[in-house]
Amino acid sequence: MSRRTLIAGNWKMNMRCESAVALAKGVVAAVGSQPSAEVVLCPPSVYLSKVGEAVAGTPVELGAQNVYAADDGAFTGEVNPSMLTDVGCQFVILGHSERRTLMGETDADVSKKLHAALAGRLVPIVCVGESLEQREGDETEQVIERQINGSLAGLDDVRAAGIVIAYEPIWAIGTGKVASPEQAEEVHAFIRQELSKMFGKEVADQIRIQYGGSVKPGNAKELLGQPNIDGALVGGASLTVEDFSGIIAAV
Ligand code: PEP
């Protein structure tokens, strides 16, 4: 089963409009017309339109960092899936650890967002990952199993095949402490086994599982060379053309 490598840049709450557009244009120029991977940029929501214009007609795709699970209505400050597709989004990151820890998002919230995103024809990138304390307490598999089961609750096999999972150990996010390729592969293989239990092997083999946590041009090749690592969700290193395109070039 061949899964196309997916490299996504999570810009988080960084930059101003002008630099966001310049970065998008720089990535477009660097990856060219036939990138070695599928490439997605996830800017802050207020810049989605402008970045969408910068990548329109190129192989670079657009993703949001969050979505609200409701149709139009009285939800001050929120943005729903139709609004995201309206400005050109194809992807949406769900349940990032920063949203789980800082905004209190639960697996049940992620599951609601997942169903809304799929109904709105967005590809969800569902983030899971353990804290340092949980890893040191030998709870990694338990935590991942709970997050996968809770976040993907109620998902059917047909839709499951099109989702993306991002394994992001919290201790590796923004810390410069990357998981070793063996450590990451071990958890990715475990995730695929869990997906196989939920949706069957054929579907599980189609689901892309990205690694995220201090991915840089210098460590990307080894990580992406692991059998169950199908891409990267990149934070810090997605903020410069040089680093982000260096990661894509490592595919
Ligand atoms: C992230 O926040 O999704 C991430 C992986 O960040 P960084 O690459 O900076 O560790």
pLDDT per residue of the chain (251 residues) written in tens, 0 to 9: 689 999 999 999 999 999 999 999 999 999 999 999 999 999 999 999 999 999 999 999 999 999 999 999 999 999 999 999 999 999 999 999 999 999 999 999 999 999 999 999 999 999 999 999 999 999 999 999 999 999 999 999 999 999 999 999 999 999 999 999 999 999 999 999 999 999 999 999 999 999 999 999 999 999 999 999 999 999 999 999 999 999 999 99
Which pLDDT value is given to residue 2? 87
Rounded-to-10 torsion of CA 8, 96, 215, 48: 30
Is 115 labeled as catalytic in the residue annotation?
Answer: no
Phi then psi for residue 95, to 5 deg, are 65, 30
CA distances (Å), 247 to each of 35, 56, 95, 214, in order? Answer: 12, 22, 23, 11
Which atom of ligand 1 approaches the CA of 232 most closely?
Answer: 5
Output the CA 74–ligand 1 centroid distance in Å: 32
Phi then psi for residue 199, to 5 deg, are -125, 0
* 50 labeled part of a ligand binding site: no
CA distances (Å), 237 to each of 88, 92, 176, in order? Answer: 24, 19, 11
Is 188 labeled as catalytic in the residue annotation?
Answer: no
Any idea which architecture 66-207 has in CATH? Alpha-Beta Barrel (3.20)
Q: Report the SS3 class of residue 126.
A: strand
Can you name the residues that pair with 239 across neighbouring β-strands? none
Does this model's pTM top 0.75? yes
**DSSP assigned state of 171:** G
Phi then psi for residue 66, to 5 deg, are -170, 165
* 225 labeled part of a ligand binding site: no
Give the list of residues 6+ apart from residue 22 with CB closer than 8 angstroms, or none. none
Decide whether any atom of ligand 1 lies within 6 Å of the 215 Cβ: yes
Residue the block writes with tokens 């990548």? 55
Q: Where are the domains of the chain?
A: 1-62, 66-207
Contact, 20 vs 51, CB < 8 A?
A: yes
Contact, 63 vs 92, CB < 8 A?
A: yes
Query: Which candidate in 98, 130, 168, 194 is catalytic?
Result: 168
